[in-house]
Amino acid sequence: MDPGALIGMIIGGVLILVSIIFEGGASAIPGYINIPAMMITVGGTLAATLIRYPIPMVVGAIAVVKKTVFVKIGVAEETIKQLVEYCKISRREGLLGLEKEIEKINDEFLIKAIRLLVDGSDSDTLRSILGTEIDNVRQRHTAGKGIVEFAGTIFPAFGMIGTVLGLIAMMRKLDDPSHIGEAMAVAFIATFYGVTFSNLVLLPLGGRLDTLSKKELFLKEIVVEGVVSIQKGDSPMITEDKLKSFLEPRAANKLSSGSKEKEKT
């Protein structure tokens, strides 16, 4: 798990809370809790999202966002080392020798790739099946990102709606000037909710989803090239050289140095 998203949201929330306390003390906190404003902003955003997207897509987006927060994406260098090791096993024991390695793998995509390899699939079949899997993942992530960013975009608008409704209610009570300041503060709480939740949670999560999606798809492309190289019977050195082309020069050189040190020991 990469705790970056949770840490960021906690830091943002704590800073806002501290600012509220500095301005009005701890007793000011309940004044920022307004159930009608929450209903308008959260409920309105959810309603509009359900109108814009089918329910299964919205549910799927929630699962994708959960994955960006709680699932840790692998490291390219480690994936390459793993594939090179599988290449060594296949050269030593044949492709069937990889079958015992499947139960040690945690990544479902890599498990599928190795199983196809063990079953004797040729390179074209590997690229076709795994490429389709990658396209499906890309589509799911793109849809999830679109839904989250849509919700983040319209959330402030429903905050403004809540503020307008609050101002209308305030205008009806202008005969009592003593309550105008308090009523105006309550009216703007909806805008506070909309802007804060949009810019602290939804839009950053949409951007995070895009970043992690690109990283995950990048790792899957490495897996495809790796298993195709193994299927073709390439040597471990050639397989490693092919996969290092996906890395930046510094990372590729570091990987090569690590491999040489391991061979010496």
Taking the CA atoms of the chain, what radius of gyration do you get in angstroms?
26
- DSSP string across 121-163: --HHHHHHHHHHHHHHHHHHHHHHHHHHHHHHHHHHHHHHHHH
Max mean pLDDT range (17-21, 75-79, 131-135, 252-256): 131-135
pLDDT single digits (tens) 118-163: 898 899 999 999 999 999 999 989 999 999 999 999 999 999 998 8
Burial tier of 89 (Cβ tally within 10 Å: 0-12, 13-18, 19+): middle
Residue with tokens 């987006």: 61
- The structure's pTM equals 0.81
Predicted local distance difference test score (pLDDT) of residue 44:
94
Arithmetic mean of pLDDT, 209-220: 91
Distance, in Å, from the CA atom of 22 to the CA atom of 18, rounded to the nearest integer, reads 6
Number of H helices, E strands in the chain: 11, 0
